[in-house]
Structure 1
């Protein structure tokens, strides 16, 4: 399945989530791309929405190789196999994780205007992104939502690798995915237009008033 852009993907995904329309839930997106998806779902389901920032932790020799991910509250996940294979030190992991927590907090404040996370205790959360390759950034967000007291977490993504789906199934109550691929090359390959969203794009989402922001 190909999507025209993130808005098209979000609307198609929202059609698969209509069963949650009468449920007390909140939509949470992982920016940048996941914020667009979350906004589309919230619009269709008429639900409040917000974001959670999850930062990739890169390897010391190549920042594009993810050795884990962490959120603004310090919730994290590490790829122990890669860390062991490359002999990455604990000092590096601790230092980089601390830096990424700070980066995530700054981004959250920049996007939302406030640093605190909304109260989701006892609620069902639909967590979205524009696609999942490895699942580590998504899993760090799941861990953070659990630490904030979410009653139930449902993953919602347009596309994901089989590997990522298998990882996520162990950590959440359900996942809705429009396209699961065993031959997964990149999230980009499932979009006709995968133009990178800017920070200003995300800030502007919060300025739109027709959908209630969850604060």
Structure 2
């Protein structure tokens, strides 16, 4: 696509993100990737910034009868983001939302523990945290992840993604101290269109990027 950077794969995108963060002088204490797709990028960014890598996990809350349509999302600690337009449009009642919130928060918590393989969650107190994902469309799970980090004692939160639509990126800027996004194309159909290789990342592959 003319005028829009095409990333070879997630590692390529991560290397470009790492370079952009270094050029901005961002000195991260820790990099948190959103699994699964964010981990190949997170590894490249963490290596570029010489920072440890960990995860931040959230799960989508699907609409009644349409689990793929997000009416919100919830992080592993219960921090939730509500898509009020989707909630109203699907007539999702509060009881359903809260029930799914509890279920998906527990699922997110279990996933985070599985990825850490017994390691404790990192202490973010007073730290500069860089959050990495492979791109953002509506950003439902990412918004829940950022809500969780807003409740932490992190000193500074930087979001780093290769690509996202302008309106979503503008919304996310309100949740963090800084956003580094390499491309914000107006013609946006999905994250995958900007990658030559955007294959699924398995849990085993994703977890391998967390190995020291």
Coarse TM-score class (shorter-chain normalised) = over 0.9
Report what 2:163 is aligned to.
Answer: 159
TM-score by length of 2: 0.93
C-alpha RMSD of the superposition: 1.5
Unaligned runs of 5+ in 1: 210-215
Cα separation, partners in 2 of 1:115 and 1:64, compared to 1, 3 Å: farther
Q: Among residues 124, 129, 133, which one is paired with 1:129 in the alignment?
A: 133
Cα separation, partners in 2 of 1:174 and 1:21, compared to 1, 3 Å: closer
Report what 2:179 is aligned to.
Answer: 175
Cα separation, partners in 2 of 1:2 and 1:24, compared to 1, 3 Å: closer
1:59-98 equivalence runs, <5 A:
59-98=63-102
Report what 1:112 is aligned to.
Answer: 116
1:186-197 equivalence runs, <5 A:
186-197=190-201
Distance in 1 of aligned mates of 2:119 and 2:88: 34
| CA shift for structure 1 position 24 | 4.9
Distance in 2 of aligned mates of 1:133 and 1:94: 24
Report what 2:203 is aligned to.
Answer: 199
Instruction: State whether structure 2 residue 37 is matched by structure 1 residue 37.
Output: no
Report what 1:47 is aligned to.
Answer: 51
Contact 1:108 1:114 in 2 (8 A): no
- Give structure 1 regions of 4+ aligned residues with deviation exceeding 3 angstroms: 19-22
Unaligned runs of 5+ in 2: none
TM-score by length of 1: 0.92
Instruction: State whether structure 2 residue 138 is matched by structure 1 residue 141.
Output: no
Cα separation, partners in 2 of 1:205 and 1:75, compared to 1, 3 Å: same
Contact 2:30 2:127 in 1 (8 A): yes
